[in-house]
């Protein structure tokens, strides 16, 4: 099922939940003191959470049934439970390679932070989608803790787990029956169902079902871009904020079929034996998907992501134009200045490159078919003071994810859709050699810089940038515009000026920053990796 609206049973359960909430014992409706339990009623049953600095926290809430028995099929509603369910710890993540947490196919879980329960308030809801491409990760990182956002902005925060890699995006429609027709996008349909759950339970958690902001970093931003083009997601969110994550083009059906065939071949199965994938141990399915992807120049495991299946995803998300169904949704599209230092900065050789070594290294890592000699010559003209390593990191950043950001910004500008662009320029004083690397904006927008995982430190500059980015997100969630008193006038992006807010200790609005780099890479067409 890929419909955008809950089933009749969902509405019946909602009615029961509303009745229980209105007759909830007075002792439980009262706000617990710090450290005491928090209580909620959802369609599955009663929940017991806890209080953290005055914020009610509920973790590991099921929003769908165990997917293990219906592998590759759209999500189903979770089974109700008896008594009170403990919601004190995160639920399992989707099966994935090299997981550092518990995984299970019973992974359709979400987490909620809220300042108030059943209080009639209509707080903005911030729904965060984690990164990790479509392959790994979960909504359980300490960096995604919503307590600070709730305390600073009086908002509700939700994070979510959903199916990933082969479990969420293996396109088996050509080989199976009707129940496999959605297999290439069930990971996205999980997110749709989670957003339906949020809409259904907004009042219980003190939120506004009519004001939901989806935000996400890296793969989370790509998932948001994809949702913006999915009919099933229409009306489920009202603002979108993406950080270093774009989905300009999706995987085509021919390419998706080719990848599924490679998985079958790795398992020594024929297409006629596709049903054996339904009961295969999860670890074997994950291992089979580690074969080399046929469309990539570098040695990388199989790409499994959303499929333009003419069913759940009828068109590429942002090509040849931005999705019409989301033209009225305000959107922020951001990136970091030194994205690839997060991936490529762990090799000490990349900091000591010579001009002779640079072309071969750049040819492998820039992801576009443009002569390294042409790229190097232009960077030396634009930035005469750059070292070979500086050129390497700048060019790989511009030739990879930043290209997708530019494509989406231009498509939205042509559409006349309300869109703002930002670039994080601030570098952590704890790791200055990495610059403004990929993922650095996560602890800043969540204002979780005090956590050791943040790697930002808590000096005056870190506090200033975190407050500036956090307040922009909160303003955007409240009013559909990221402007706040701590920023210069942040103008929407247009093709004439390409206005971009540069987040640093002192934020600045710039016209077409890195315009020379943009024009350099505009010489070649942009096609998202995995499309072919």
* Active centre residues (catalytic): 218, 339, 438
Q: Work out the angle at residue 130's Cα, subtended by the Cα atoms of residues 436 and 292, and round it to the nearest 5 degrees.
A: 85
- Run of H or E including 131: none
Question: Helical H runs in 327-387?
Answer: 341-344, 358-365, 372-382
Measured CA to CA in angstroms, residue 265 lies from 135, 169, 274, 294 at distances of 20, 17, 11, 14
Selection from 259, 291, 322, 318 nearest residue 532 by Cα: 259
Q: What SS3 class is residue 221?
A: helix
- Taking the mean position of all CA atoms in its chain, how far away is CA 81? 30
CA distance linking residue 522 with residue 508, whole number of Å: 25
CA distance linking residue 459 with residue 450, whole number of Å: 10
Burial class for 516, CB neighbours closer than 10 Å (0-12, 13-18, 19+): middle
Residue position matching structure tokens 């500086």: 390
Selection from 395, 387, 306 nearest residue 353 by Cα: 387
For the chain, the C-alpha Rg in angstroms (whole number) is: 23
Kindly report the backbone phi and psi dihedral angles of residue 262, in degrees, each rounded to the nearest multiple of 5, phi listed first.
-65, -35
Q: What SS3 class is residue 87?
A: coil
Task: Assess contact for 109 and 161: CB atoms under 8 A.
Answer: yes
Task: Assess contact for 498 and 407: CB atoms under 8 A.
Answer: no
- Taking the mean position of all CA atoms in its chain, how far away is CA 235? 18
Burial class for 480, CB neighbours closer than 10 Å (0-12, 13-18, 19+): middle
Task: Assess contact for 502 and 513: CB atoms under 8 A.
Answer: yes
Quick one: how many helices (H) and strands (E) in the chain? Answer: 16, 13
């Amino acid at each position: 099922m890929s419909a955008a609206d809950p089933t009749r049973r969902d509405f019946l359960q909602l009615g029961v939940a509303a009745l229980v909430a209105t007759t909830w014992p007075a002792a439980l409706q009262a706000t617990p003191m710090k450290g005491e339990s928090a209580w909620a009623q959802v369609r599955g049953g009663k929940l017991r959470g806890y209080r953290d600095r005055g914020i009610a926290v509920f973790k590991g809430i099921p929003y769908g049934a165990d997917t293990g028995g219906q592998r590759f099929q759209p999500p189903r509603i979770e089974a109700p439970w008896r008594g009170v369910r403990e919601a004190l710890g995160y639920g399992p993540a989707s099966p994935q390679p090299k997981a550092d947490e518990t995984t299970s196919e019973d992974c359709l879980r979400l987490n909620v932070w809220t300042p108030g329960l059943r209080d009639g308030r209509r707080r903005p809801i911030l729904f965060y989608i984690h990164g990790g491409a479509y392959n790994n990760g979960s909504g359980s990182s300490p960096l995604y803790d919503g307590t600070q956002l709730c305390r600073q902005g009086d908002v509700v925060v939700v994070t979510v787990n959903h199916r990933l890699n082969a479990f969420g995006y293996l396109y088996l429609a050509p080989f199976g029956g009707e129940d496999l027709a959605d297999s290439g996008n069930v990971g996205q349909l999980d997110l749709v169902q989670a957003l339906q759950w949020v809409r259904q339970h907004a009042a219980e958690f003190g939120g506004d079902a009519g004001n939901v902001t989806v935000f996400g970093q890296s793969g989370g931003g790509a998932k948001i871009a994809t949702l913006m083009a999915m009919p099933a997601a229409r009306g489920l969110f009202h603002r979108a904020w993406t950080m270093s994550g774009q989905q300009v083009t999706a995987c085509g059906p021919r390419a998706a079929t080719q990848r599924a065939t490679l998985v079958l071949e790795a398992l020594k199965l024929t297409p006629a034996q596709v049903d054996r994938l339904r009961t295969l141990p999860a670890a074997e399915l994950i291992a089979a998907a580690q074969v080399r992807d046929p469309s990539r120049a570098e040695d990388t495991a199989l790409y499994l992501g959303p499929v333009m299946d003419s069913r759940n995803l009828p068109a590429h998300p942002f090509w040849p134009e931005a999705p019409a169904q989301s033209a009225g949704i305000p959107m922020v599209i951001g990136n970091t200045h030194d994205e690839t230092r997060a991936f490529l900065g762990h090799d000490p050789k990349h900091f000591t490159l010579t001009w002779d070594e640079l072309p071969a290294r750049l040819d492998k890592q820039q992801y576009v078919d443009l002569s390294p000699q042409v790229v190097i010559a232009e960077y030396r003209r634009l930035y005469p003071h750059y070292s070979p390593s500086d050129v390497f990191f700048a060019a790989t950043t511009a030739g990879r994810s930043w290209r997708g950001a530019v494509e989406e910004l231009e498509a939205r500008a042509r559409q006349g859709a309300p869109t703002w662009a930002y670039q994080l320029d601030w570098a952590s004083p704890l790791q200055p050699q990495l610059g403004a690397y990929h993922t650095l904006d996560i602890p800043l927008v969540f204002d979780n810089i005090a956590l050791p995982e943040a790697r930002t430190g808590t000096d005056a500059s870190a506090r200033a940038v975190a407050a500036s980015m956090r307040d922009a997100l909160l303003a955007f969630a409240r009013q559909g515009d990221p402007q706040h008193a701590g920023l210069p006038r942040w103008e929407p992006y247009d093709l004439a000026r390409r206005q971009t807010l540069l987040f640093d200790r002192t934020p600045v609005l710039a016209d077409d920053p890195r315009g020379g780099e943009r024009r350099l890479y505009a010489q070649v067409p942009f096609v998202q990796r995995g499309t072919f």
